[in-house]
A and B are shown apart, each in its own frame.
Chain A
Amino acid sequence: MIRKPVDLGDPDRLYMVTGGRSETDSSLDLVTLIVSECEPTTGMQSEHVRILELCRHPTAVVEIAAELRLPITVVRILLDDLCALGKVSARHPRAAASVAGLPETALLQEVLHGLRNL
């Protein structure tokens, strides 16, 4: 079925997701790992809930953005809010490397190769 592209969007506008903010002075890097510190509660913004669920295991900011399908800026603003409330904590990727249990180099090389061929 072919649908008009106008029907595929979402009623949420990004300024509603961020509450009108467009800038953040957070130090969160694209590859900073985020870990949730608590379970989502009812009444939370749905993006916060999804971040908390996603970050039960350490997840990079850029990965969260991809999962949530939101621009990086928006995700950083959301993460700022959560950090301020103490619901998530940020970790440097190097420190988290062992925890995350990264795959073997060979596999990554293979993936990288595949990606470059895309």
Chain B
Amino acid sequence: MPMPARSRQRRSAERAASASPFAPTATLILTAAGAAAAVALAPAEGRRWVLGTVVVAWVCIAVVVGRASALLRRANRRAAAQGGELETARSAWQHQVAETSRLVDVILPDVTRQVRGGGDAKQVLSAVALPSDPHLQQLLRMVAGELSASVERAREAEAGLEGVRERLERGTAELRRLTEETLPAAVALLREGGSADTVFARFDWPQDALLRSAAERLIRELAYSERRSAAAQATSAKALSRVQAKTVSMLADLREMQERHGEEVFGDLLRLDHSTSQLGLMTDRLALLMDGRSSRVWNKPIVMESILRGAVGRIDAYRRVRLHSSSRAAISGFAAEGVMHLLAELMDNAANFSPPVDEVHVYVEERSAGLVVTIEDSGLKMSDAAMRRAVESVSGRVTDLASLQGTRVGLSVVGRLAVKYGISVSYRPSSRGGTGVVVLIPPQLIAQRHEPVTAERPRQAASAPRTPADRPRAVRSAPAAPLSTAATTPTSTAATTPTSTAATTPTSTSSESAGRGGATPNGLPIRSPGRAMAEAERIRHKPAAQKPADPGESGPARDAGTRFGAFHLGRRRAGGAPPDEDARSTAPEA
């Protein structure tokens, strides 16, 4: 703290200045008095010497005192001048301090506020009372300038930031819309077969170039891969349909060869037949997966026995499958192939996953909910996971080809068929120790059983001499009503028909239809497809056959001509009958 030191200095200087005017004079008087006393006291003989000495001493003292007082006065004057200077400096300093504090406390905040508020630095400075000190003024200008510049920069940066944020938000919104709406819809459209250009035209794509090009590239790639998979699928389906057609014609050829050739090649032909049937199953399986069609379409109801045999005949281990069916139901033609394929896949599965020595048992029950086919193997119990996978597969919920695993495609095919025909397939543990599959065929797939044509055709076929051209039609209708053939009398039909109410219908219609076509229980006439043709055939053959219209007699007691016709035809169909044997057998009669 310099202040107290300065005040003390000042006080001592004032005291010195106030004491100085009297002290020299008093000293001179006192010394003169002392000298006079000394001269007066001095002995007379030394008075002169003393006087001389005293005068000299006093003069010396006077000179010293005079000189000292002069020096003192000068010193006092200088001190006074320095004190004045000090005062000036102090006031200047205080002024400076005041200005500085005003600058710091008032001007700078004011200037800062105004500059921040958007004022120009020069205008703000001109409006403010500037400090008088040029340095402070310069400082203020500099600060104001820098402040204004930095405020400007901050404003610019803020604007830039705002722009960036806006762009970012727009980009985010576009990205979100692209991800959540556009891309899924576009992918769905592509899956349905839309081209990439259609997709680009239909949807609203992002403005952002980068995002847009990414989406475009993705869509093009996706469209390409969709096109590729669709082309692959279509090509395979087409190729497979040719294989299917070939297989079917091979089967027909084989059947024809089995008719024509004798016993020596029969076994080989059967083996070939079996292999070809298996080939047909594999081809159908692939074709279904490729969205192709079944190899065959039956245009007549197929009885359950034929359905089961048709299914079993397509699998490798057909000898291990035991069929337990007494059902007379028939599956409508449109669904027959599908049901056969489905059962074949399930039986194949059952046979493949059970020991090669164990049998697979197939049971058929007629229930009001439909036809229940149970396939039981005695293999190992399926694990829970495998069971879940199998249930998932046969549910048909997943039809994507990507879900296929390797060669195990059978159950996926079952799933597709089950969904297509509304068949329910469920798994349960078998009482035989293995796994049981319960297939419920809904009633709408089961054919109505009163079919006058099927009852009529075998009779007509039996009563008229057969010609090869007549054959296929009769073969077609034969399995549909195995019991109501020409040989059946009404009583035997009734005896062999199961007690189900639906099965009584063919009995009544077959006897009725012999004369004038069938009728519903309510009495309405029934005209089934091909009926008119059959009628015409029957009438055409009436003159040739002796007793064609009476079902009661035409069966067992057929006339000799009919019998001989059948005999001769049978021999011809046997193929192995050489002409000489023919001659030998007929010779006795001739």
Contacts and interface: CB of A to CB of B under 8 A. Distances in A.
Contacts of B123: none
Contacts of A108: 560, 564, 586, 589-590
A16 B313 contact: yes
15 contacts: A6-B248, A7-B296, A8-B475, A10-B306, A12-B310, A12-B313, A13-B277, A43-B325, A50-B487, A56-B556, A65-B570, A71-B575, A72-B573, A73-B266, A111-B561
B285 to A, nearest CB: 17
Interface stretch (B107-115, B148-156, B255-263, B371-379): B255-263
A63 B273 contact: no
Contact of A7 (B299, B312, B313): B299
A13 B556 contact: no
Nearest to B298: A7
A71 B561 contact: no
Interface residues of B, number: 79
Interface in A52-96: 53-54, 56-57, 60, 62-67, 69, 71-73
Contacts of B310: 11-13, 16
B252 A9 contact: yes
Q: Which of A18, A20, A39, A66 has the most CB of B within 10 A?
A: A66
Contacts of A65: 570, 573-574
Interface in B449-498: 462, 466, 471-476, 478-479, 482-483, 485, 487-488, 492, 495-496, 498
Contacts of B245: 6
Interface string A93-118: 00000000011010111011001000
Contacts of B248: 6, 9
A41 B310 CA distance: 22
A73 B268 CA distance: 13
Size bracket of the A interface: 35 or more
Nearest to B585: A31
Interface string B117-150: 0000000000000000000000000000000000
Interface of A: 3, 5-20, 22-23, 30-31, 39-43, 45-46, 49-50, 53-54, 56-57, 60, 62-67, 69, 71-73, 102-103, 105, 107-109, 111-112, 115
B324 A43 contact: yes
Cβ-closest 7 pairs across A and B: A11-B310, A22-B267, A66-B570, A103-B560, A62-B570, A16-B309, A72-B574
B39 interface: no
Contacts of B263: 22-23, 72-73
Q: Which of A5, A39, A105, A108 has the most CB of B within 10 A?
A: A108
B249 interface: yes
Contacts of B279: none
Interface string B215-259: 000000000000000000000000000000100110110010011
Nearest to A94: B588
B61 to A, nearest CB: 166
B267 A43 contact: no
A71 B397 CA distance: 45
A20 to B, nearest CB: 5
Q: Which of A64, A105, A112 has the most CB of B within 10 A?
A: A112
A53 B309 contact: no
Contacts of A17: 309
A60 to B, nearest CB: 6
Given A30-B577, A111-B561, A11 B589 contact: no
Contact of B251 (A9, A16, A72, A73): A9
Nearest to B249: A6
A26 to B, nearest CB: 11
A24 B425 CA distance: 40
B571 A105 contact: no
A7 to B, nearest CB: 5
A112 B271 CA distance: 38
B274 interface: yes
A69 B271 CA distance: 20
Contacts of B252: 5-6, 9
A66 to B, nearest CB: 3
B255 A16 contact: no
B30 interface: no
B307 interface: yes
A20 B319 contact: yes
Contact of A60 (B462, B479, B567): B567
B299 A107 contact: no
B283 to A, nearest CB: 14
B309 A11 contact: yes
B274 A13 contact: yes
B568 A115 contact: yes
Contacts of A18: 270
B297 interface: yes
A53 B487 contact: yes
Contacts of A56: 487, 492, 556
B19 interface: no
A24 B428 CA distance: 41
Given A31-B585, A108-B560, A115-B568, A11 B273 contact: no
B567 A46 contact: no
Nearest to A3: B299
Contacts of B462: 67
B576 interface: yes
B472 A8 contact: yes
Contacts of A31: 585
B474 A69 contact: yes
